[in-house]
Structure 1
Amino acid sequence: MKKTLLFLLFNLVVFTVISQNSRIVQDEEQFWTGYFNQTRLSDKWGIWLDVNLRTTEHFVKKPSKAIGRLGLMYYLNDDLKFTNAYAFINHFPEEGHANISQPEHRIWHQLQWHTKYGKIRTMQWVRLEERFRQKIKNDNELAEGYRFDERIRYNFLLNIPLNKKGIVPKSFSAILNNEVMINLSKNNIYNIFDQNRFFVGLAYNFNAHSNLQFGYMNVYQQLAAGNKYKNINAIRVFFFQNLDFRTRKDK
């Protein structure tokens, strides 16, 4: 029994060392900017809208991705909401399609909830994505048809006020945010883990409904080959706006 355990332990160590040595990591610098809007129309219904642009190579030299999302939100209560939405993503030319952009259509479903612990606030969501990425023939040409994949994402955000009054208008707060993504499709043989995004920065709260978040984000992504990874160091600037169009009677 001891010999068996030692043999298994030895093989595990050897496998780990080989995996580490065979890992190929590509470093990138990117800039991410985006506008996020959640508009509440009634006690139960609202609209989700966000648009994003990401650039790469010395942060801003080349476009990387353009993203637009539009969805319908259902409020279970003030702190718990469900979203069904559509997204279009344009993957600008990169490795695998060096001279042509790749379009992606995405259907997604999300459960999002907010919690308060004194003056500290948290936001979490679980999102399921159904991804339809157009197939690629070569560096210069798209192929017919789409590849279908599924991915699940869990996001956790911590918002800590930097003043005694809490998160109030014209104040700063500290933001810690982590999101992990797991591939669910059978097509993803070598990279069930997709990526992890960690963000640390500040938020300037213009008022109770709008804030600007800016800071540093690290994205660590495993690519389809399994032993290839991207390590992205990014500057992230996002503007968040939550509007409420309910009448006083509705509230």
Structure 2
Amino acid sequence: MQKVLILLITFFFSFTYSFAQVKQTDNEEQIWLGYFNQTRFSKRWGMWTDVALRTKENFVDQYSQAFIRPGLTYYLTDDVKLTLGYTYAWHFPADNHKNVTMPEHRPWQQIQWHTKYPKVKLMQWFRLEERFRRKIKNDDELADGYNFNWRMRYNILAQFPLSKNRFAPKTFSLVTANEVFVNFGKKIVYNYFDQNRLFAGFHYHVNKHDNLQFGYMNVFQQQAAGNKYRNIHTVRLFYFHNLDLSKKN
């Protein structure tokens, strides 16, 4: 079963990566930094918080986006979680708003689950987002009101231990992940497919609960016009901080 699962994941990653290579148009280089915290307060309740910052191009030229995402989590079991959250996003000056930052309000709902095998750990989630992006009047000014659309995300991440002490503190594991984004709503005409994020890298297990993740991610994104695409080569550095206060309580 484990071998079949790994083969399916590998095929899925290979397919999405090949698709991205065929469709690429503009190439960019970015750095993505992120801090992710999941804190469990009791048997059923916890909190999700993450913050992120992304550069724009050439790895270190300016900033493209920043996010803060708090959420309330309900634990169905130790391995299955429901989260209701909110994101505030800053879209820093870009092609269609060169001198002004566009804000975005983004409520979201998510189911996340973990599956553990002797030689691999899997994490998956489905996330539904409601995106309210401020309208743009011109390069220098925001307009009144917001553009709205829905977006669905599916993420799968696999960890493979690289030492005999599997997933123990001070060890490394190999990480592969893929996340697919799909848009829908009245405003979506040409880009129902939004983007695909393919990641390969490592986890350094700081302790039993925390991980430092680093590696390469390819982001392939279709723009709203439908005939323009972005292929982003990304250095990704994330810290995952997990706290369980339920045992103390």
- TM, length-normalised to structure 2: 0.89
- The residue number in structure 1 matching 2:227 is 227
The amino acid across from 2:98 in the alignment is A
Contact 1:24 1:227 in 2 (8 A): no
Deviation of 1:186 after TM superposition, in Å, equals 2.2
- The residue number in structure 2 matching 1:90 is 90
- The residue number in structure 2 matching 1:66 is 66
Contact 2:24 2:231 in 1 (8 A): no
The amino acid across from 1:27 in the alignment is N
The amino acid across from 1:80 in the alignment is V
The amino acid across from 1:207 in the alignment is N
Q: CA RMSD in A?
A: 1.0
Deviation of 1:164 after TM superposition, in Å, equals 1.6
- The residue number in structure 2 matching 1:42 is 42
Aligned length: 227
- The residue number in structure 2 matching 1:135 is 135
Q: Deviations over 1:178-206 (max 9, x none)?
A: 00000011211100000000010011001
Contact 2:106 2:130 in 1 (8 A): yes
Note the residue ranges of structure 1 that are not aligned, 5 or more in a row.
1-22
- The residue number in structure 1 matching 2:14 is none
- The structure-2 alpha-carbon separation of the partners of 1:43 and 1:24, relative to structure 1 and needing over 3 Å to count, comes to closer
Among the aligned pairs, what percent are the same residue? 57
Q: Deviations over 1:207-247 (max 9, x none)?
A: 11111000000000000010100100010000001100113
Note the residue ranges of structure 2 that are not aligned, 5 or more in a row.
1-22
> 1:174 and 1:98 mapped to 2: Cα distance?
39
- The residue number in structure 1 matching 2:77 is 77
- The structure-2 alpha-carbon separation of the partners of 1:122 and 1:24, relative to structure 1 and needing over 3 Å to count, comes to closer
- The residue number in structure 2 matching 1:119 is 119
Deviation of 1:24 after TM superposition, in Å, equals 7.3
Contact 2:205 2:212 in 1 (8 A): yes
Q: Secondary structure at the residue paired with 1:208?
A: coil
Q: Secondary structure at the residue paired with 2:76?
A: strand
Q: Deviations over 1:129-164 (max 9, x none)?
A: 001000000111100001111000000000110012
The amino acid across from 1:96 in the alignment is N
Over alpha carbons, which structure has the higher Rg? 1
Contact 1:124 1:157 in 2 (8 A): yes
> 1:57 and 1:154 mapped to 2: Cα distance?
26
Deviation of 1:56 after TM superposition, in Å, equals 1.9
Contact 1:119 1:167 in 2 (8 A): no
